Amino acid sequence: MEISTLTVYHCLVFVWYFFVVYAIAHVRTEERPSEVFLYGGQWKYLTVLNLFVSISFWILYTYNRELVYPKSLDGVIPLWLNHAMHTAVLPIAVLEILVTPHRYPAKKKGLILLGCVFLLYISWVLWIYYVTGEWVYPLFALFNPAGLVAFFAGSLGVIVTFYNFGEFLNRMIWGDAIVILDYRQKGK
């Protein structure tokens, strides 16, 4: 894809992200159920922080929607916004893999950075629970401390798997294009 087309694509995705975050922030306060958007506001939800939670959200939603997206939110968050947050991000991410070669850091460095971000988010979730006595996601209330640790460890395993799969797809699709891209950048 040409640089100008790629730039337009990335600008459109950037604008889409900000539009979705803006829409989430402007869900009318008086319509929000009291158990939602307490301490930490919208910034406690991984969806708002990342917008790449499509697979985990829909698996949990299909299993028991009350664990991640209680029915009480249906009257607060429009259906289009739910899909903008939890569905549209998957094709956008797949398209990103297909149109842009990515240069991953060394495996160890990449996984350490990923682990740090994971621990930071888990710390934020635990802090919110400590302050409010309520879990960000009702799912967490089902676990005892050992189960919660196991769930977080399993989640980290899934995240690492997705990271490795993304790196694999990048190499399968782009092959040596990454090396050529690096060479051209160093020559400038």
Band of the pLDDT at 168, cuts 50, 70, 90? very high
Q: Are residues 2 and 94 in the same domain?
A: yes
Domain boundary among 57, 79, 100: 100
Average pLDDT, the chain: 81
pLDDT: is 44 or 68 the higher one?
A: 68
Q: Name residues whose C-beta falls within 8 Å of residue 109's C-beta, 6 or more positions apart in sequence.
A: none
* Number of domains into which the chain is organized: 2
Same domain (yes/no): 56, 111: no
In this structure, the answer to whether residues 21 and 80 fall within a common structural domain is yes
Could you read off the pLDDT of 129-161 as tens digits, one per residue?
Answer: 888 888 888 888 999 999 999 999 998 998 899
Domain match, 6 and 75 both: yes
Q: Residue 154 is part of which domain span?
A: 104-188
pTM equals 0.72
H-helix or E-strand containing 157?
helix 145-174
pLDDT score for 53: 74
